[in-house]
Amino acid sequence: MNAAIHTFVLVLASIFPVVNPPGSALVFLGLTSRATPELRAVLARRIAVNSLILLACSFLLGALILQFYGISIPILRVAGGFVVAVSGWKLLNEGSQKEMEASAGGVDRTNLLDQAFYPLTLPLTTGPGSIAVVISIGLSDATISSPAERIIFVLASLSAIAVLAVTILFCFAYADRIQRLLGHGGTDIAVRLSAFILFCLGLQILWSGGNELLRSVLYEGAAPSLPTPR
């Protein structure tokens, strides 16, 4: 039981700051500000379910999939960080708040629902940073020799992912209350500040992956070559 609680807390503490549901909720609110509260609630449920499935599959199968396609985690971080940075930059430079508050009747319900997975779930909510963290946690499963301990580790990790998905649902479903609390001007400032943080996070993920790639290249170039046997 102590091992299960320790694993649960460790996994949740590792993923929660990367996903950051409260901050992501403000970005979600900015991208869906023209939607009705009912549509936003449907989107929140879909994003929570998509995040649960995505993180659970990344935890269970991520390492195997990356190995099958020959994709390294640094490459995953570079590609995903670029997408996150572009999304944050786009939201940061959106039109005025007046344009964002256009009539909800002009919103294409089907178009927003089609965006529930991309880009609202991936990469804006559960992006490459959280996927890389979950895959790294899944890789540590190989160091556990006991089958019972491995089952406890997997169940505790999946429970932490489920709790995170519930948190995403709660924060996204009630994002409009944040708007009423902050007001139009305060919400616009908060959304743009979150967008800037999202942009910086994308650059950080991009740099993290690029730094690992550069180090691998430099270390390979600096490695002394072995003499050819005669």
Domain assignment present for residue 130? The answer is yes
Distances (CA, A) of 137 to 14, 132, 141, 200, 201: 9, 9, 7, 24, 21
Taking the model in full, what pTM does it have?
A: 0.71
Q: Is the pLDDT of residue 57 over 80?
A: yes
Domain assignment present for residue 51? The answer is yes
* Torsion angle (degrees, nearest 10) of CA 152, 157, 160, 164: -160
Domain assignment present for residue 228? The answer is no
**Radius of gyration over alpha carbons of the chain, in Å?**
20
Please indicate whether residue 15 or residue 184 has the higher confidence score (pLDDT).
Answer: 15
Lowest mean pLDDT among 55-59, 87-91, 155-159: 87-91
What is the extent of the structural domain holding 47? 2-222
Domain assignment present for residue 111? The answer is yes
Distances (CA, A) of 11 to 15, 159, 188: 6, 9, 33
Please indicate whether residue 69 or residue 91 has the higher confidence score (pLDDT).
Answer: 69
Residues 6+ away with beta carbon under 8 Å from 220: none
Domain assignment present for residue 227? The answer is no
Domain assignment present for residue 81? The answer is yes
Q: Is the pLDDT of residue 212 over 90?
A: no
The Cα–Cα gap between 51 and 31 comes to 18
The Cα–Cα gap between 53 and 12 comes to 16
Among the ranges 5-19, 24-38, 148-162, 198-212, which has the highest mean pLDDT value?
Answer: 148-162
Domain assignment present for residue 26? The answer is yes
pLDDT tens by residue, 137-184: 887 766 677 888 889 999 999 999 999 999 999 999 998 887 777 777
Please give the mean pLDDT across all residues of the chain: 80
Total tally of structural domains belonging to the chain: 1
Domain assignment present for residue 229? The answer is no
